[in-house]
Amino acid sequence: MKKMTLLAAAAAFSLVTEAASAQTYVRYSQDGGEIHWGMVHDDGIYQLADAPYLSMAHTGTIVQREDVKLEAPVDPNLVFMTAFNFRSHIRGEPAEYPGLFTIPASSIVGPEDPIVRPAESTNLHYEAEMAIIVGKHAENVSVEDAHEYIFGVTAGNDVSERTWQANDIQWVRAKGSRGFNAVGPVLVQGADYKNIEIEGRLNGEKVQGENSSDLIFSMEEMLSYISRYFTLEPGDMIWSGTMGSTRKMEPGDVFEVELSEIGILKNTVVQGK
């Protein structure tokens, strides 16, 4: 086993022991400037010319963790989420096909950004999840071949405004408002997404926990199902759905999503205007 660390004292960038074949990527900015992709090594972040699922070409620039801000390690056009995909999160029997919905990519924030509670929000909840990133163009992919289209894995918090979710005709506002969906801190290629421990902690208290092997519809099944109806492109995201029950978050609360083989995503809730 190989332990890939990069100034592990930075809590938002906590990494865990990974298989030697795994590779870790980040997106980062410096002083509010341009956002770059980078490959994580023990001696720094090696800047890439493009997203790793498009090109592994290096620019020759190496930066240090303490000199950059970590951005969300994703850059999707399409973001698909899964509803009711753990038995612990549903009542009765599962549906015959996945509960699927989309959110705008503009709702995504990074591991060093706050989660923004809108001014009129009264019932904002966390949802610890795993998300996969599509690695190549996908249409009508079989379940058996779907693994070939999954580039990597990251952690996500599908923040949800439950009152809006119950009362709106669609879930787009309740699930996809600006500043809702935190992702990160890293994107890992080679992680075993079929056996990932997913844990959610509110202010340090464990409030959610389950393994990705417990999904009703696996990530391969989700990618195959989505690709029947939508064209997936490199960088697009598919979220797993959450487990168990959730609670309301208030401004000042800190929510963490920890995924084995990935690391810890940690964000603070702030009050929006």
Lowest mean pLDDT among 4-13, 187-196, 257-266: 4-13
Question: How far apart are alpha carbons 110 and 49 in whole angstroms?
Answer: 20
pLDDT classification of 117: cutoffs 50, 70, 90 = very high
Q: Locate 169 and state its tokens.
A: 């005709």
Residues of the chain with CATH 3.90.850.10: 79-271
Q: What is this structure's pTM?
A: 0.91
Q: Is the pLDDT confidence value at 2 over 70?
A: no
195-254 pLDDT, tens digit each? 999 999 999 999 999 999 999 999 999 999 999 999 999 999 999 999 999 999 999 999
CB contact at 8 A, 235 and 133: yes
Residue at 272: amino acid letter: G
Question: How far apart are alpha carbons 37 and 45 in whole angstroms?
Answer: 9
Q: Which fold has domain 79-271?
A: Fumarylacetoacetate hydrolase; domain 2 (3.90.850)
Bridge-based pairing of strands 263-271 and 115-117 is parallel
